[in-house]
Structure 1
Amino acid sequence: MRYSREHKIETHARIVKKASVRLREKGAHGIGVADLMKDAGLTHGGFYAHFASREALVIEAFAYAMDRSTERWRKLAEQTPPDQRLATIVASYLTPVHRDDPGQGCAVPTLGADIARESPKTRKAFAAKLEQMIDMLAAQIPEQPPEAARKQAMAAIATMMGTLVLARIAGQGEFSDEILTAGRDAVLDRATAPKPGAKKTAVKKAAAPARQ
C-alpha cells in the first residue's frame, strides 16, 4: 500500500515527537529503535523509510525538544514586561512540575550527558540548538550590552540546568525543593547584583575615610 507524501510527513513528525518524549524519559541509550517505533504505532521494519540511522532520529528528537523549550520561553517573554522576563523564565523552569516530568521538559538536563558521549555530528547539532537557546535568553536581559547579556544567559542556563539535575537526584522531598529554590535565587541574585565597576566605586568611597 502506497501512502501520500503528506501521510509520510505526518508519520515522520509523530515518530520524532514520541521519540523526543521517550528519550527524555529513558536517556539516549535507554530505549531501542523497536520500542521507539512501537510507541509511534509503527513496526520496526518501517524505521529506515523515515531515518537513515538511529543517530538521525536522536538528533531530530532532541532538536524538537529543545525547540519546544525555546519557543515556550519566547511565549513567556512576550507576555511579560521586559524587566521581569528573566525572572519569569527561571521561575517557570525550576519547578517541582518540571522536575517530576522529564519526558515533557527540557532536553539538556536529561540528555546532555549522553550527547556529550555521542559522535561529533550529534554534539554539533546539540550545541547549535543550545546556542539558539542561549541567544534567546540573552535577548530577554534588558539594559545589558549584547556580549554581557550573552555571558549572563550562559551562566543562567548552566545554573538552571545543573539545579534541575540535582533536584531530580534528590527526589521529590523537601531537600529537592530546597535545591530548586537555591537555584532560582542564585540566577536572580546574579542578575540583580551591582556591576563590577559600580561595586569597585562603592568600595573606594567607603574606604576613603580610613586612609585619611
Structure 2
Amino acid sequence: MRYSKEHKQETHARIVKKASVRLREKGAHGIGVADLMKDAGLTHGGFYAHFDSREALVIEAFGYAMDRSIAHWRKKAEQTPIDKRLAAIVDSYLTPSHRDDLGHGCAIPALSAEIARESPKTRKAFAAKLEQMIEMIAAQIPDVPRKTARKQAMASLATMMGTLVLARVAGSGELSDDILGAGREAVLERVAATKAGAKKAAGKKLAAAARH
C-alpha cells in the first residue's frame, strides 16, 4: 500500500515524539529500535522507511525534546515581566513535577552523560541545541553586557540541570526538595549579584566620565 507524503510525515513525527519520551525514560541505550517502533504502533521493518540509522532517530528525538524545552521557556518568558522572566523559568524547571517526570522533562539531565559517549555527529547536533538554550536564557538576563549575560546563562543552565540530576538521585523526599530549593537560590542569587556588579561598574564609569 502506498501512503501519501503527508501520511509519511505524520508517521515520522509520531515516531520521533514517542522515541523522545522513551529515550528520556530509558536512556539512549536502554531501548531498541523494535521497541521504539512498537511504541509508535509500527513494525520494526518500517524503520528504514523513515530513518537511515538508529543514530538518525536518536538525533531527531533529542532535538525534538530540546526544542520543546526552549518553546516552554519562551512561552513562560512571554507571559512574564522582563525582570522576572529568568526566575519564572527557573521556578518552572526546578520543581518536584519536573523531577518526577523523566519522559516529558528536559533531555539534558536525562541523557547528557550518554550523549558525551556518542558519535561526534550526535554530540555536534546536541551542542547546537544547547547553544540555542544558552541564547534563550541569556536573553532573559537584561541590564548586563551580552557577553556577561551569556556567561551567566551557561552557569545558570549548568546549575539548573545539575540540580535536577541530584534531586532525581535523592528520590522524592525532603532531601530532594531541599536540593531543588538550593538550586533555585543559587541561580537567582548569582544573577542578581552579576546585575548589581554591572550596575555599580556602570555608575563608576559615568562618575569617571563626569570628572573629565
Q: Give the TM-score band, short-chain normalised.
A: over 0.9
Q: Which amino acid aligns with 2:110?
A: T
Q: Percent identity?
A: 78
Aligned match of 1:57: 57
* CA drift at 1:195: 1.4
Aligned match of 2:20: 20
Aligned match of 1:107: 107
* CA drift at 1:145: 1.0
SS of 2:85 mapped into structure 1: helix
Runs of at least 5 residues in structure 1 that lack an aligned partner in the other structure: 202-212
SS of 1:31 mapped into structure 2: coil
Cα deviations across residues 123-172 of structure 1 (Å, max 9, x unaligned)?
Answer: 00000000001001101111011111000000000000000000000000
* CA drift at 1:90: 0.2
TM-score, scaled relative to structure 1:
0.92
* CA drift at 1:72: 0.3
How large is the Cα RMSD of the aligned pairs?
Answer: 1.5
SS of 2:121 mapped into structure 1: helix
- Partner Cα distance (1:31, 1:143) in 2: 46
Q: Is the 8 A contact 2:76 2:85 kept in 1?
A: yes
* CA drift at 1:198: 4.0
* CA drift at 1:79: 0.4
Aligned match of 2:136: 136
SS of 1:28 mapped into structure 2: coil
TM alignment of 1:71-90, pairs within 5 A: 71-90=71-90
- Partner Cα distance (1:136, 1:5) in 2: 33
- Partner Cα distance (2:190, 2:168) in 1: 23
SS of 1:180 mapped into structure 2: helix
Aligned match of 1:156: 156
- Partner Cα distance (1:68, 1:162) in 2: 19
Say whether residues 1:66 and 2:66 are aligned partners: yes
Q: Is the 8 A contact 2:51 2:57 kept in 1?
A: yes
Aligned match of 2:7: 7
Runs of at least 5 residues in structure 2 that lack an aligned partner in the other structure: 204-212
Q: Which amino acid aligns with 1:119?
A: S
SS of 1:140 mapped into structure 2: coil
- Partner Cα distance (2:116, 2:160) in 1: 18
SS of 1:128 mapped into structure 2: helix
- Partner Cα distance (2:87, 2:174) in 1: 22
* CA drift at 1:196: 7.3
Q: Is the 8 A contact 2:144 2:198 kept in 1?
A: no
Aligned match of 2:46: 46
TM-score, scaled relative to structure 2:
0.92
Of stretches 77-86 and 189-198 in structure 1, the one that deviates more from structure 2 is 189-198
Aligned match of 2:192: 192
Count of aligned pairs between the two proteins: 201
- Partner Cα distance (2:39, 2:166) in 1: 29
SS of 1:195 mapped into structure 2: helix
